[in-house]
Each structure stands twice: as C-alpha cells, then as structure tokens.
Structure 1
Amino acid sequence: MAPSAAISSILLLLALLHPAAATARHRHRLGASLLAASLNASEPPTTFFEVDRPIRPPRGSAGPCSTLLLSGTFGATYGRPPATAAYAPPACLAAARAASAGGGGLALAVLEWTAVCRGRQFDRIFGVWLSGAELLRSCTAEPRPNGILWSVSRDVTRYAALLAEPGEVAVYLGNLVDKTYTGVYHANLTLHLYFHAAPPPQPQQQQMADLIVPISRNLPLNDGQWFAIQNATDVQSKKLAIPSNTYRAVLEVFVSFHSNDEFWYTNPPNDYIQANNLSNVPGNGAFREVVARVDGEVVGAVWPFTVIYTGGVNPLLWRPITGIGSFNLPTYDIDITPFLGKLLDGKEHDFGFGVTNALDVWYIDANLHLWLDHNSEKTTGSLLSYDAAGLDLNVNSEFNGLDGQFVTSASRHVSATGWVKSSYGEVTTTFYQRFRYENSNVFRKNGTVQIVNQTIDAKSGIFAKDATTVLLSEELHKIFPLYLYTGTTDKVGDEYSLDSLVKLGINEKKTSGGKMGFLYSSLQNAQSARGIMRVKKNLVVSGLGKTHQVYKYVGTDGCYFRDVSSRNYTVLFDRSGDSCSKGAYSRASTKLNNQSARRKLLVNKL
C-alpha cells in the first residue's frame, strides 16, 4: 500500500531495477485491474468484506442508539488536513450514565465505517481518531467502474471513558486522483450504542479504563495522527504525565507498514542486494519488530501480523474477500502496570516507539488506558523485577547471483513485576512476553521465483494478586503462519505473467480468570488464495483470483463458524453458523482446566 505521493516514485523505481528483481517487486504493488474497464457500469456494485466474528450485543441489552459522527468525501486528499467533526456524547449515553447508579450503563459500543467508490484506485490506508486516540486503522477496497461498497465494524466499548467526553473526530484517508486513478471514496462513520437493562457485575465495569491518553501527533496536520517511522534508528515519542492516582496502565498499539516495508517479510538482506547491485530493492532482511519504550527502557514489543492489503501480491485475490486484518487491522496490548512506581511522580515521561530493521515507512501510535483510584489522590508503587534481554536475531545467507536462501530466526523475552498500593489494597502485577520467529526466504530461477515460509509465535501473560486473592490471571498465545509463492514468467518488455499462492492465518488461544471468573476462547482463522495475472505497465490486463477462508471460534462466550470461497468478484459458497457442538465445548473445558492448573503454578511464584 503506497501511503502517499510516493506511489509515483515507486513505479518509476520499478522501471529502473535489475530486470529479474523488477519483476519480483512488481508482484507486490500493482495498479487496479484494466479488466474492470470492460464491465457494464449499470451492474449493481460489488460488496467487499473481511471474514470476522459478528459483533453481537449482550443478551437483554437495549439498543442500538445510533449517531452519525462524520460523513466525508475523500478524493484528492493526500497531504491535506484530515476530515474533522465536533463530537458530543450522544444524549442516550449521557442519560444512561446518569442512571447507571440504579441500573443501565453502557453494554456495547460499535464504530461502523461504510463506504462506496466507483472507478479505478489503489488501496489506501486510513485512520479514525477521537480526541487524538485512534479508534480504527483500516484499508480501503479497490473499486471497479460499476462501484463497490464495504463496511467495517469495530468494538470500541473499551473507549467508554473517551466516548463520554466532548471532543473531535478526525479521519485521514490520503487519496490521489488523476486521469487513470479516478476513484473517490464516500464514507459515513457511525457510532452504535447498546445499554444494560440492569447494573452489570462490578468486575465487568472494571474492565474499561477510567482515562484514555493518546500517544499520537496533535492536530492540525496534513496527515494522519500516527507517527511515521522511517528507518531503523528513528524513534518517535511523546511526553506525558499520568495521574498520580493511577493503579493500572495498558498500552494499546496500532501498527501498519507501507512503501518499502509493506512486504518486509519478503525483503532479502543487504549483502544480497549489494552483491547483485540492486540498490533500489528494499532490503534489511525479513524480520521486523515494534519496540515500545518508556523513558528509554523497553517495556514490551509487537511482532505484527502480516496484513496483506487489498492491492497486495495479486489484487484479484482480494475481491470480494479481503485479506485477514485488512479492513480491521489488529491492535496489540502491552501492560505497563509493573512500571507505575516510576511514573507516579507527577512528571512527564517519554513514551516512544521504534522498529527494528525498519525501512520507510511504518505508521505507529498508541492509546494509554489508565485505571484510576477515585478514593484517593495518590497511589504508590515500585518495580520489583525486570528482564528485557536484547533481541536474539540470526540470519543465515547462501546465494549465488540472484538465487539463494535466507533463513532468519529470532526470539525475545520481556517480563516485569511491580506492586501498586491504592485504596483497593497492595496489588502485585507481573506481565511477560515471549516471542519466536522463523522465516525461510528462497529465490529461484534467476530471482523470478520467490518462496517465503514464516511463523510468528507470540505468548503473553498478566498475573495480578493482592495478599490473599488472585485478581487477574490472563494468558494469550498467538501463532501467525504465512506461506507466499510468486513466480514471474513470459516477460516481454514491460509485460509479464505472475503466478501467486498465499496462505496466511491466525491461531489464537486465550484464557483468563480471577475475580471475573474463568473465560476461554480459541480462534483458527485460515486463508488460502491463488491466482495468475497478466501485467502490463503496472496494470493487470487479465487474470484469475480464487480465495478460500475458514474461520472457527470457540469460547465460553459462544461459537462462530464460517466457510466461504470466491473467484473473481463472485462468491462461490458461503456457509456460517453460531452453534457450538458438544465436542467443541468439551475440548474448550479440557483446555480451560489445563490452563487453570498451569496458571496456579505460575501465580504461586509471584
């Protein structure tokens, strides 16, 4: 995804590359299909969608109470200020908060983006902010002459404190329009609220922070409010002071990668580039991580899921089923509660982000979720233990000319334990992260074939207890598998054929316990896409794309299943359901019991 006017320069660079390397880079960033020009513009628009679990209001809740936050048109918007609108809490929310002492209260908040577009256009990244805090990071769909439409819904209940205060909504979608790329995006942004009919349990109320502090750039800007990380030494940060009565703090990090690092997991090392005189080919190897720091100390990391945007690899693959995470990019939580002892001094502290081995450009910002002790003006704390050993990164390279193999492995461990004393007592919290990474990057047939096989394995946990009780015990395990094959053939001048196969997925298991009771969830989300296309002058002139996706979710809060397949804008079949089999519940129960036993052992070590 080209985030800016850099699109034009990227296309120019492609023409200057080594012939074999040029085709390798062509397969990643292409213009919209010329096939669309032959379509009947009177046909109904195509609905694009990302497969995800539907957001459903809690049983017995009332709503929705819906409010249009912003309606905007995004044409020649690159390098211009974001679209903005004043925000006032909806009257239904204010009424519910006033009555919450006797019943009611916010049960669910959903932010919905709906958009239409007609013509031809690249995919574009966009963000939505409220009072500087990002609520949604997303990618547009690539349009066609008969038009497209799509919607994105995100659960924003965790931002309840932000939604209750007046502010400003900002949307940045940097778009370029010319004689070839004519697509203009028309979008509405709507907030849907649901309310409890009776007071929710107190533990549920405590799940949402009392204050959300944005770690982003301030308006006015001619860009998004994200920070732009341009290279491996670039660290972007913001200074802020946190309230002195804070007793818990969580960083929620937004991440997206673009331009030379849009396909960072395919990049060869610099020695390969130098040996083959490929000065314009992105390098620095196939590993990236986002590192979060407070006052220069590492407090956590993000090893991001490999989101492929709607124009990536082969644009025909993502029509109408888009890549996992492309419409609703994932966020990543880092619990910094153990470090509060160093932050409760009333002074400003530096919250910063960098990207290991980064090339231009990464967009990063964060929201700092804070829980406040309303019964006291001052909490105290101390860091008891801290371990953030450096990144362990190894690269083995073997190549001869443009052919070769590069095997990259990496690991990192971060852990911290600290206590905070408030009116709720003295609570000791441990947060840890463990990461493992493997990437095999193979070039064959004089660099015209590339095969990437990668796995990211990330574990994290939070354990909080007072003198007698386990208050929170949560473990999250994510595995991100990726397989990518691309092969270029029949190259004549500026025209060639490209065969591609993409397999990517998210396997996630989560358990939590403590005062909230025990919860369990398991997600298996697998996508397989294959296509061939004929490319001329960076535009697709013919081709075929097929995508199949299976989404399986099992949890104590319910189940969801979807099996869907498409071929060149047409959905071949779409099966879904939300019933849980007895076997699924049994497996969930067994896993929950096993996790519970292991959790008790870990908690006893605190």
Structure 2
Amino acid sequence: MLPKGSFRRCLVVAGLALCFAGVAEAAPDTSSPVGSANVTVADPTVPRPPGQPCVVQLFSNDTFNDYSPRPFSYTPPASCGTSWSKVVLEGDFSVSAGEQYDRTATIFLGGVNLYFGTTQEPASTEGRSWHVERDLTDYSALFRNAGQGQVFIGNIVNSTYTGVIYGSARLLFYPASVVAPAAKAPDAVYPLSSDPIGSTVTLNNSSSQMAATLTLPRNVERAYLDVFTQSQYADEFWYTCVPDQYAAETSECGGGNFREAEVSIDGQPAGVAPVYPWIYTGGIDLYIWKPTPGVQALNFMPYRVDLTPFAGILSNGSPHTVAVNVQGANNYFSATASLLVYQDAGAKQVSGQLVSNTLANQPPTPTIGSTLSQDASGNVTGNITTDLSRHFTIEGYVDTSHGRVHTTVDQTVAFADTQGFTIQGSLYDQTSDQLTSVEGVSRSRIGTFISGEFKERFRYPLHVDYNQTTLSSGGYSILTTIRQGYEQHSGVSIDGFPLYSADVHNKVEGSDTLVLNSGFQIVSHSGQQTKQTYAFSDSLGGCYSGSVSSANDVVTAYSSGQGCPGQRNRVFWFTHPDGSPYLGDAALGW
C-alpha cells in the first residue's frame, strides 16, 4: 500500500449614499475561457466606486526564483488627497512552464499584511497566469504615510524545479466624492508581524504565539483583529490527521485534526478565529485544481475578530500584548494579523472596563470518539469523530464623548469532523467530513438604545474521499473526490431596525484518478472534473453569480450573471461580494 501522505503533494505544478448611484455592473462577457487551460475562477473582483483612481505601483515584473524577499518603497498618491472612498490592491502573477510546487505569496507594508495567498502550479509545457484583488479600504490609515514594504514568494529554481514565478502589484485609491463618500475606516493599524517591514510568524505547536506588545492611544473606542492562519509543511493536510492513538492503525498523520486560532489580550482569551481548510494547487491531487483552484487558494480572506469589549482596557495608557496561537498546530502554521483601531474624535482619553468574559473558562478541548475495529486479518473499519462547540459572551464598556457604550460579543463556534476508514487488502479508503461554523452577534448600546448590531454567520464545509487501490502491477490507482465551501452571512441593524444584509456562497467540487507506478511516480491521470459556483446577494438588490467547469484540464463551461436579474451581475461599489470582512456594527461604516 502506498504510504499515506506520499502523494498528497504532487509536482508538475463609503458612506451610505441613500441614492445608490454607485452600482458596479459587469459588462457583457464578450470573450469566453472555454477551451483554455489557464487559471479560471468564478470569484468576483472588488467592486469600485465611480471616478478615476490614483495608482501607486508597489513592484513591477519582479522575478521570484529564490528565497529572498523583494523590497519596495511606498509613497502616498500625490493627487488623490488623504481621504478615499475605497483602496484596492491588484496583483498579477504568472509562472513559467516546467515543474514547480505551489508557493506561498505575501505582500507587507510597514509590517502590515496587504496580501496572503499561494501560487498556481504550471504544466510541464505551459505556464499559468492569474489576477488577485483585495479590498484594503479598512487599512487607509496605513497608506497616508510613506513606508517600506516587501513581497515574498520563496521559490526554488534548479534543474528539477524549473518554474519561475513573476509578479506585479499596485494600489488603487478612489478619491472621496458626493456619490462615494470617504470610508469610515479605522484610525490606526497595528501589525502582529515578525519584523518592522513585515513577514509571517511561524506557529509550530499550540503554545507558539504571534504577539505584539502595544501602547495604544488613550481614546480607543472600537478594535478589531484581522487574522490569517495558513497551514504549512506537516500541517498542510491537518484536516486528514487523526489523534495520535489511532495514527498507526489508520496509517495517517497524528496530532488530531482540530485547528482553531485563539486570540488573547494580556493572556486572557479574547476571541476565536476559525481556521479555513485551504487546499493549495498541488494538494492531494494536483490535477483537480487545473485550471480552477480551490476556494480562496490564490487569495486568502482574513477572519475579523471583534475586540471592542476590551477598548476601555486598551485605552488605559499601559502596554498590552495582543497574541494569536493555533490550537492543535503540529508543525506548522504561518500566521499574520492586523489590529484595526477606531478612536473617539471627541475625547483625548476614554476609560472603561471588561464586564464579563465566559470564553475565559472554556478551553478549546475537543471530544474524541471512535468506532474503529480491526479483525483477525488486520482489516480496519470504522469512524473517528472530533467535536467541539462553545458558546461565549464577552462584554465591556467604554466612556466616550457621546456617552457610555456597552459592547457585547455573543458567539457560538463549532467544529465537527468524522473520519471514516476502510482498510482491507489492496484497498485504502478514507473519507473526511468536516464542518467549521461560527454564528454570532456584536451589539453596542448607549443606555437602552442599541446603537449598532452586527450579525455574522460562517460555514466552512469540507468533504474529502481518498480511495487508493493497489494494482496487480504493483502500482496504485487513487480516486480523489473533494468538495469544499465558504459560506458567509452578514447583517447590520440599529435598535432592531435592519439596515443591510448580504450572503456569499463559494463552492468548489472536483475529482480525478491518478495512476502511479511502484516507485510512486505519476503514470497517468483520468476523469478530471471540477466545478466552481459563486453567488452573492444583498438586501439592496445586489447580485453576483459565476460558474466555471472543467474536464481533462481545460475549461468546458463558463457563465457570469446567470441567476441574477436580467442575467447580469450588478453590485454596489461599497459591498463585499468577495467575502472580505465588513467594518462591524458601525452604521454601515462605508
């Protein structure tokens, strides 16, 4: 039997303007990617406000063929002022034909992460190119000052790994206008990074921390933490691992498969960030991801943790340590985070306290169950289950220039996983069904008046069926079927009156069969098929839909706008159809 894990990585490689004038409506699709083998996704781009942006090039046509970061200097745009309705990062990358692994890609400025993702693997005779975008409006405070940054795509190029990666990136600044007012962006951004220019932090185990000790302004009114946690190395396929006591019996990686990012302030639990099971373009079966990668594989979205109940404490003039660790990390996770702070413009100093925190006495310890059994012939069948659900509330207040504001974060975070095994003779079958979910609400009130209420719901479903058969030739046939999704619901209301809601559904499903020889080299693959469907809708009538299907490594069907009124995508410029986080419970803080 092929040692499990041997082929999991394969080579080949705004303010709300009540007249919604700023509608981004997609032009009719005049070209079709059908028949193309190049990267094709159904994801929407970031919608833009009306007007001409100022463009600042961060780097252009850089070559990535080693493990050295590429530095760049940033200067704010001279002709767009310092108040913008939107700031968007655009990046264009490519990899030359040859053999190459997928690689991790990051862009940092002044220690703050601007982009985090991975790269597409090439074909031996054909390169690949792709485009990414990220809404960075919430980071506007960072861009008002000049600074130093760097892009890092660690890549080995030699006689074996021949694919060279190239990339360019720029920032687009959209000036504020009557129809596209300046965004109510945070007043300051603080990085949790490994150095002043910016790099990710390695978290080798549950005790490893990414931390920053900060002395913040004394008038913090709201605070949020954008968190990225990316699995690497032995932890890349964490979602297939089993508890140590079952590792030998199932021929699987140990350490269990529960992963969750824990946020703390001065050592006290302060929030939870679920870990998304990203699958990179060399993951499990590389052909599944040609030409459409897995959910967010090329462009990760951060998870935003509401730390507002701690605003009073953070404003007391003392240094405070904000930290993140990944529970269950097992060599290793790569992490970065950014603290976003709103200040009280009417007060130089505020005061406040944390009132209650029920997360503090709920450790992230899952319940493990097993029905595994082994017969006299050594055949193994049964399931391993891993479950954890926690409901918690964190409440605090801050005395501001407009009164005492109480904020309560009320969340339920859950993880449910079942690993099914059938191991007998020439057959090794492992089926993983996993669901990570978050449901919660952040409420702010002044007296009895609920000044803001922000609801969010996330679901990260994952299904992986790995079916491996030993052939009479001594080789192996491996059928892999994968389904993964990203579901997000966001809603804003004031004193019970709903103002806005939006839903994102991103799903990728695919399968392929690999044939390997006894030396674990790919002989052939067959039956590749992948489909991505993407849908966004909101309470303002915005709609986006996209779909792409492939077979035998080329696009076979593509649609955009079908399912929306008039068969056209139509979204407002201030919305987030890409799944990026909203600003929280401020009144539609666009």
Task: Indicate how the Cα distance of structure 1 residues 419 and 330 shifts in structure 2: closer, same or farther if over 3 A, else same.
Answer: same
Q: For residue 214 of structure 1, what is the aligned residue in structure 2? A: 191
| Cross-structure match for 1:390 | 363
Give the CA deviation at 1:578.
7.3
2:73 matched residue in structure 1: 86
1:165 Cα deviation from its structure 2 partner? 1.4
Counterparts of 1:221-370 in structure 2, within 5 Å, are 225-274=199-248, 282-370=253-341
Question: Which letter maps to 1:434?
Answer: T
CA distance in 2, matches of 1:264, 1:136: 23
8 Å Cα contact 1:49-1:151 kept in structure 2: no
Per residue, is there more helix in 1 or in 2?
A: 1
Q: CA deviation at 1:479?
A: 1.3
Task: Give the residue type in structure 2 aligned to 1:48.
Answer: V
CA distance in 2, matches of 1:167, 1:554: 37
Contact 2:105 2:151 in 1 (8 A): yes
Give the 5 Å matches for 1:161-560.
Answer: 161-198=141-178, 205-206=183-184, 208-219=185-196, 225-274=199-248, 282-388=253-359, 389-399=362-372, 400=374, 402-446=380-424, 448-467=428-447, 469-491=449-471, 495-514=475-494, 518-536=499-517, 537=519, 539-544=521-526, 545-557=528-540, 558-560=542-544
DSSP 3-state at the match of 2:330: coil
Change (3 A) 1:549 1:340: same
- Sequence identity (%): 27
| CA deviation string 1:78-106 (max 9, x = no partner) | 3x3x211111111133xx33xxxxxxx41
- Per the alignment, in what secondary structure is the counterpart of residue 79 of structure 2? helix
Residue 54 of structure 2: aligned partner: 65
Unaligned 5+ segments in structure 1 are: 1-18, 34-43, 98-104, 583-606
Question: Could you say which structure has the greater relative contact order, defined with CA pairs below 8 angstroms and 6 or more residues apart?
Answer: 2
Deviation at 1:352, TM superposition (A): 1.5
Match of 1:602 in 2: none
2:577 — aligned with what?
Answer: none
Partner Cα separation in structure 1 for residue 77 and residue 239 of structure 2? 44
Unaligned runs of 5+ in 2: 14-34, 567-590
Residues of 1 paired with 2:180 and 2:62: CA distance? 40
Counterpart position of 2:576: none
SS in 2 for 1:89: coil
Q: Matched residues in 2 for 1:274 and 1:490: separation?
A: 19
User: Counterpart of 2:509 in structure 1: which amino acid?
Assistant: S
Q: CA deviation at 1:581?
A: 4.3
Greater alpha carbon shift after TM alignment, 117-126 vs 419-428: 419-428
Q: Name the CA distance, whole Å, in 2 between partners of 1:218 and 1:551.
A: 37
In the alignment, the residues of structure 1 paired with residue 170 and residue 246 of structure 2 have an alpha-carbon distance, to the nearest angstrom, of: 49
Match of 2:136 among 156, 163, 174: 156
Task: Indicate how the Cα distance of structure 1 residues 379 and 578 shifts in structure 2: closer, same or farther if over 3 A, else same.
Answer: farther
**Contact (CA 8 Å) 1:317, 1:568: kept in 2 or not?**
no
1:199 deviates by: 6.9
SS in structure 1 of the partner of residue 239 of structure 2: helix
Return the match for 1:574 from 547, 552, 558.
Answer: 558
Question: In 2, Cα distance between the equivalents of 1:481 and 1:92?
Answer: 45
CA distance in 2, matches of 1:161, 1:290: 26
Deviation at 1:403, TM superposition (A): 4.2
- d(CA) in 2 for partners of 1:253, 1:525: 20
Q: Equivalents in 2 of 1:140, 1:258: separation in Å?
A: 14
Q: Displacement of 1:484 after TM fit?
A: 0.7
> Equivalents in 1 of 2:338, 2:249: separation in Å?
43
CA distance 1:568–1:162, change in 2 (3 Å): farther
Q: CA deviation at 1:539?
A: 4.7
| Aligned equivalents of 1:46, 1:339: Cα separation in 2 | 50
Q: Counterpart of 1:272 in 2: which secondary structure?
A: helix
- TM-score of the two chains, using structure 1 as the length reference: 0.83
Structure 2 distance, partners of 1:419, 1:149, is: 49
CA distance in 2, matches of 1:565, 1:338: 45
CA deviation profile, 1:399-457 (whole Å, cap 9, x unmatched): 32554420111112332111111223221111122112211101213472110111112
Residue 561 of structure 1 is matched in structure 2 by: 545
Distance 1:32-1:194 versus aligned 2 partners, 3 A rule: same
Q: RMSD over aligned Cα, in angstroms? A: 2.6
Separation in 2 of the partners of 1:275 and 1:56? Answer: 51
Cα distance in structure 1, aligned partners of 2:322 and 2:474:
47
1:216 maps to amino acid: S
Does the 8 A contact of 1:443 with 1:451 survive in 2? yes
Deviations 1:154-185 (A, max 9, x none): 11111111111111121111111221111111
Q: After superposition, where does 1:100-115 map in structure 2 within 5 Å?
A: 105-115=83-93
Q: Deviations over 1:332-353 (max 9, x none)?
A: 1111111122222222211112
Length-normalised TM-score, structure 2: 0.85
- Residue 494 of structure 1 and its aligned partner are, at CA, apart by 8.1
**Deviations 1:497-530 (Å, cap 9, x if unpaired)?**
2111001112222111229971111222222101
The residue that corresponds to 1:77 in the other structure is 66
Q: In the aligned structure 2, how far is the partner of 1:110 from the partner of 1:341?
A: 32
Instruction: Return closer, same or farther for 1:519/1:538 CA change in 2, 3 Å cut-off.
Output: farther
Residue in structure 2 matched with residue 52 of structure 1 by the alignment: 43
SS of structure 1 residue aligned to 2:366:
strand
Letter in 2 for 1:551: Y
Q: Which residue of 2 aligns with 1:131?
A: 110
| Aligned 8 A contact 1:62 1:196 in 2 | no
Instruction: Say if 1:565 and 1:571, in contact at 8 Å, map to a contact too.
Output: yes
CA offsets 1:200-241 (integer angstroms, 9 cap, x no match): 56xx743x1010001111157xxx711101012223322111
**CA shift for structure 1 position 127:** 1.0
Other structure's SS at 1:574 match: strand
Secondary structure of residue in 1 paired with 2:5: helix
**Per-residue deviation, residues 446-470 of structure 1 (Å, max 9, x unmatched):** 4721101111121122111213643
Residue 484 to residue 275, structure 1, CA distance change in 2 (3 Å): closer
Q: Distance in 1 between matches of 2:562 and 2:217?
A: 43
Q: 1:472 to 1:489 in 2, by over 3 A?
A: same
Q: Is the 8 A contact 2:220 2:314 kept in 1?
A: no
Deviation at 1:197, TM superposition (A): 2.7
CA distance in 1, matches of 2:248, 2:511: 32
